Structure 1
């Protein structure tokens, strides 16, 4: 019975990146051997165990066989006679198929070290084509390692998988899981580029894929193409260290431009309402967490108004804050401002431009929050106001406060 560190921990150590956790493969053991040694079983589909002291995952070496379409259609075989090399051969990318023995020796039957040095994402074997999740995984690795290229033969295989309908078998929840991880990487734009290059973006996120080839007004968008703009916006969100909800909102903010009739290009009148509708449909399909979907809807509907806030009077600013539910959800509104700042800076030559809307709206919101609504309501009631009249009194008090603040 021998144990080897495998996968991401070995890869990241070789890249001199932080190693946060380690996965192990055990060769020459049975489940009974692991239980006798004090390991706790956790795997449902195949034997995975937690170490009794470190609680790291130890999986028995295994092979797998494709039995049905999609990523659930596999039969796994784990037995003491399965070798480490056989286990490594079933992995997705060569850079993830390196093992390290306890004495530090590297076992690299698939050329992972070579591809790390060459900065190439390459599939291990033709078995890559059996699992469509691997397309998404490779795309998010491209976002994590933006200076790595995709091997031409791997890209060709991914295109074949898409054409064969393999990605159509992916359940939306798994698509969201991989998409969310990729959005949080160093350069999320690379994930979309890879998915688009292999044709998977059109199948998984057609609302996003439609943005390429759609022009915008060059006086506002020097990059012109809406898809190119989206890539810049996502990378700006990453540079601003935006949380997932703001990055997802950045992804969805301009979806409506993909449905603007060509005769109306490069103007996109009322694209915000279309963006909101398409975002709602996308969220219904992918089922992201509510904090992601709710913020994305607000940003899709209001991002243009947030950009223009510096030109608004106090009454219009207050209406904008109320539409965004900013007084009840100030933390969410702050994320909306972050997504909008990424949108404003996601334009050629404007990457470091100031975004005056953000401080202005923060100041206006704080002025409105400082209003003692309980006192205003009590005074209105003392004057005989009821129901909506009390709300009107609070609105007026906030309007006065915002007018004084800006």
Structure 2
């Protein structure tokens, strides 16, 4: 069992809500212990809402008017919490959305409880004690979300919603019609992106591997981070990008805004859906546009279509490239890249500096291999430059030898120097670990 407190801050009020994680019959449960709202609490809540509607009072004024004569402090706090939770927060899912340990919040069927994904248990869905009372309540919740995010349209004509919440979380939902009842999935993003130092502390990769990727990226290589969904690709991409020189010009291209970089010369571009081809702006269009900005680096959140050709062309022109891809092995990567609909020429794969493969193993996101493409007699081979311990094998890396020759640097000294900087940086980080064990 694990117990901790989630701070829910709304309109100047902060509520400390206990959360417990327990296991039973090999199932994990996420239990939220909100203040109880009994019949008297519900009556007062309704009175406040009536004052707001009938007299146009602000929520805090209506609360003061309704509860000022009550001596029951616990009741007053419960009324305030549930009012703010429902009117200013996110209703029943407010606590998991405020919980920094939660990565995803999901509703797959309104008759079942909400499920969440905890950062200490990646890939595992925890069953919560949060649920909607009816299909109408679940649908109304999704409709209310459509008024808070951007874009905002959802209707019977278009019964699905893809939007970004004010906090930056990605919301995807349906109101039915194309699903059996309302559904949604919220992918949360941490207030501050994880750094390479923090990823080292979490065991995602070794310092030498981080130093290698940092060096390849800074010297304008083409790095592709590949793996299954939720394996940490975007997190690693963002961590590497944050190490790029602050004086450099960076253009990022995404479907939805996920990347956050501490760079002053950063241009963000986003794709745009459209009713027809003329109004649609895709990744391919934006990569071509990005080249005209003469950036030092182009970062594409995820490559999956014709834009891959523009990426290879941009790399050949000398731009540093970073992107993610969905493939779990070098063999799968090669098949996807060189066959329809991508159809990348095998010779162009030499422009890739490194491909990082990630996965979720033993409840932890980790880098399992880093490969460099080598073309021999017209066929492509992927050479793994990670040792069995997860460290970089400098002697095995062709790309590092090329960089040493091109830039006249001592690769061993440079990798060692960056390792030391990463280790020294970790002295400034203290990661709060939550130990989860079965009872």
Task: Please give the range of the TM-score, normalised by the shorter of the 2 chains.
Answer: 0.3 to 0.5
**Greater gyration radius:** 1
Which of 1 and 2 has higher RCO (CA within 8 Å, sep 6+)? Answer: 2
What TM-score does the superposition give when structure 2 sets the normalisation length? 0.31
Which one has the bigger strand percentage?
2
